[in-house]
Each structure stands twice: as structure tokens, then as C-alpha cells.
Amino acid sequence: MNHPPPVSLAMIYGLFFRIGLFSFGGQLTSWIHREVVLVRGWMTNEEFLSGMALSQILPGVNSTNTAIFVGQRLRGAWGATAAIVAMLTGPFFAVILAAIFYKWIIGWEGMQSVMEGVAAVALGMLARLGISAGRGAAKGLTPALAMLATFVGVGVMRWPMLGVVAVVAPISVIISYMQGRGDEG
């Protein structure tokens, strides 16, 4: 079997440095998905979505958790280190500079319009990821119902995400397990 060469640490660093430096206001997970799965083909959609799900239930920022997951899957501990260091290097220096020049930057005419435009783009990217993830994950009635229950619980009812996941996830896992056992016999 012909395996592609491993992704270099420099490539991992370069990608996550650009994502960290040129992102505004979060929602980086959709950008990471686009770059890692769609553009570069470093991971399959299923691998990425599994890691994204794990990243969302772990403590910390989803995008940094996702970067660590991707780096680890591609190159182990060194890949995870390269991804997280790269993701934080650019923003670290940008925030330091922004803090120094804050009064000058905030006074720029049109800055509020720029930030509103960037927020609209981030929401569009998030919506695209949600649709893409929904199509890939809903390969049956149980996953579709689990996604719908989570969306209604968190998005509509505004219940705490941890509580909703603590209820929906075990039920979904048990039903999927029982359905899988029924397929064997």
C-alpha cells in the first residue's frame, strides 16, 4: 500500500500560524476544517469531525483544542506542539501591538464597520461548517435525532451545553450500540 509522506512540522506550523494570525473573533474550527480536510486532504471528514466533537467537550477554547488534535493526529506530540505554538504566536504579538496602539486604532473611522463585516464572515463560515458536519454525521436516525435534540436544548431552550451533552450523548451511544448489536445477529 502506498502511503503519502507525513506532513512536516513546518507545514503544520505554517498553516496554524496563518490561521491564528489572520482570524478574528473565533470560529476558527470551520477554517481549520476547510484547510485540513478540503484543501490539503490531511484528514478525512470523519476523522476531523470526531476530533472536533472531542475538542468541544474538553475544557478550553475549541479552536486550540482542534489544533492540538489535528497536530497530534498528523505528527504526534511534536505535531500538537507545533500546531498550538503556531496558532498562538501571531495573535500573541498582534494583541501586544494592539494594546500598545489601542487608542489610536479605536479612533479609526470605519473600524466598527470592519469588525461587523468580519463577524458576518465568521458566522457564514460557522454556518457552512454546521451544514457540512450535519451532512457527514447524520448517517441514520439516531445521530440526526441526537443533533436535533442538542440543537434544540442548547440553541433554542438555552440549556447549559454540558448538561445537554451529558444527557444526549449517553442515550445516543447506547442506542447506536444496541442498533450495531442488532446488525451482528
Which residue, among 57, 35, 60, has the nearest Cα to 48 in the 3D structure? Answer: 35
Expressed as residue numbers, the domain containing 44 is 9-137
Per-residue pLDDT, 60: 86
| Same-domain pairing of 22 and 111 | yes
Residues of the chain with pLDDT below 70 are 1-4, 24-27, 136-138, 181-185
Q: What is the pLDDT of residue 87?
A: 93
Under DSSP, the state recorded for 43 is: S
Q: How many residues does the chain have?
A: 185
Q: Phi and psi (nearest 5°) for 41? A: 65, 30
**pLDDT at position 2:** 52
Q: Is 36 a domain residue? A: yes
CB 82 within 8 A of CB 12: yes
pLDDT at residue 10 in the model: 97
Evaluate whether residue 126 is within a structural domain: yes
**Is 0.85 topped by the overall pTM?**
no
CA distances from 19 to 3, 67, 88 (A): 27, 10, 10
Cell 451533552 belongs to 165
Q: What is the pLDDT of residues 134-156, one digit of tens each?
A: 776 667 788 888 888 888 998 89
Are residues 77 and 148 both part of a single domain?
no
In a domain, 3, yes or no: no
Same structural domain, 22 and 103: yes
Pair (72, 85) in one structural domain: yes
Structure confidence at residue 180 (pLDDT):
75
Same domain, 16 and 107: yes
